[in-house]
Amino acid sequence: VPVDYGAHSPLLAEVFLDTYLPRSDAATFVPEATDCGPELPNDLLLGLHRVGDTFLKTPEDVVPLVPPRRHAMRGELDIILDFDFDEDPLPAVLAERLRDTAYEILALLNIHLRDFLVPAMPFQIRKLTDDGHADVKFIRTIAVQDRVELGVDLLALSMGDIASFLYGSINSAKFRTALELYAAHFNERQMRVRFLLLVIAMEALADESPKDQPALGLVERWIAELNEEKAKHGKSSGGYRSLDSLGGQLNSLRSKSIGAQIGDLFAEVPGLTEAGLADMKKRAKAVYNKRSKLVHDGYVPPAELPDLEKEARTLVETLFRAAIARSERPPGLKTVRSKS
């Protein structure tokens, strides 16, 4: 298969699928170890908490340097991309594209087999040496954070705001969908998918709104001209159908673009100056444009994704915090603290 990573020509990789013994009792999902396949490190760092594809540690935490290794389990399958490449280490963009290709193959297997294959081990780069051995390269992302204990007192501070939001009229179906998408991104391993989930969360909050009157007047003139042209064609003709389809596209021009609708959401953020609102709208539009490029072109440079994900998270969290701030505390609400 060709793996395009921005070089003059794509890298050609051979695809192999290695399957292992099925589970001894297929009706019971019990992990069963084998001594088959390469012994590979898993994606855990014992003692550290993982969010997405990042492990969290405090400055004083010690990171285990030697991760646990294991052979294949019964019922597992290896997706292998075999290729020759002279540079060492691999360019980051190539490593990312190889991982993307492995996920594509997994998805296509699920479509073809109607199965539910899920990643059991992380994507890893194995370099074969001249003596027949293999060196394994697996990169883990670690972020340094202060640790906060979730005690009763700390959680109680949040309960009033949470209850106000849940009881308030602002808690619409749009916000429920957006919050579900936001919550889902914490479990997603792939950065591109996390970025898309965060931008879609903002899309879910956007309200359709009309363009300004000068633009609406121009659209109306276009529609009138199109209707005159449609009248010259029979309804069963190809020309009529094409014009009718174009009419639907013109009707959609009455509304602002999704990017503009997302930008308008920040007008509800308290405390923003006119300059601050303009900046937020500009940032939201820039993030949405990158989302469009990723969806329509299928590619955004991997080096841009960390900052894009961070920016999208900042924007959507700003909208959520503004919504919480606008929520009114329901009458009679009490926060009861208890310790056992």
Among the listed residues 226, 220, 219, the one whose alpha carbon sits nearest the alpha carbon of residue 247: 226
- pLDDT, one tens digit per residue, over 316-335 is 999 998 888 888 777 777 77
d(CA 148, CA 146): 6
Contact of 97 with 111, CB cutoff 8 Å: no
Q: What is the pLDDT of residue 105?
A: 94
Q: What is the pLDDT of residue 198?
A: 96
Q: What is the pLDDT of residue 12?
A: 95
Contact of 139 with 302, CB cutoff 8 Å: no
Q: Which range (32-36, 135-139, 170-174, 282-286) has the least confidence?
A: 135-139
How is residue 295 written in tokens? 């969806």
Q: How far is CA 250 from CA 30, 97, 246, 255, 303, in A?
A: 57, 38, 6, 10, 37
Q: Which range (119-123, 168-172, 195-199, 258-262) has the least confidence?
A: 168-172
Q: What is the pLDDT of residue 340?
A: 61
Give me the mean pLDDT over the 54-75 stretch: 83
Strand, helix or coil for residue 68: coil
What 8-state DSSP symbol labels residue 46?
T
Q: What is the pLDDT of residue 311?
A: 96
d(CA 200, CA 135): 39
For 155, residues 6+ apart whose C-beta sits below 8 A from its C-beta are none
- pLDDT, one tens digit per residue, over 219-264 is 788 888 888 888 888 888 888 888 888 888 777 776 677 788 888 8
Provide, rounded to the nearest whole percent, the portion of the chain with pLDDT above 90.
27
Q: Across the chain, how many H-helices and E-strands are there?
A: 9, 11
Q: What is the pLDDT of residue 339?
A: 63
Q: What is the pLDDT of residue 255?
A: 65
pTM attached to this predicted model: 0.74
* Complete DSSP assignment for 295-322: HHHS---GGGHHHHHHHHHHHHHHHHHH
d(CA 93, CA 6): 8
Q: Which range (7-11, 77-81, 114-118, 251-255) has the least confidence?
A: 251-255
Q: Which range (87-101, 103-117, 160-174) has the least confidence?
A: 160-174
* Complete DSSP assignment for 224-285: HHHHHHHTTS-TTSHHHHHHHHHHHHHHHTTBPPHHHHHHHGGGGSTT--HHHHHHHHHHHH
Q: What is the CA radius of gyration of the chain?
A: 26
Among the listed residues 112, 93, 85, 114, the one whose alpha carbon sits nearest the alpha carbon of residue 13: 85
Give me the mean pLDDT over the 102-114 stretch: 90
Q: Which range (26-35, 138-147, 266-275) has the least confidence?
A: 138-147
Domain coordinates in residue numbering, the chain: 2-144, 152-208+257-326, 213-252
User: 117-145: buried (b, 16+ CB within 10 Å) or exposed (e) per residue?
Assistant: eeeeebbbbeeeeeeeeeeeeeebeeeee
- CB neighbours of residue 203 within 10 Å: 18
Q: What is the pLDDT of residue 302?
A: 80
Under the banding of pLDDT at 50, 70 and 90, the label for residue 65 is low
Give me the mean pLDDT over the 269-281 stretch: 89
Give me the mean pLDDT over the 287-312 stretch: 90
d(CA 250, CA 175): 30
Q: Is the pLDDT reported for residue 119 higher than 90?
A: no
Contact of 141 with 53, CB cutoff 8 Å: yes
- CB neighbours of residue 224 within 10 Å: 9
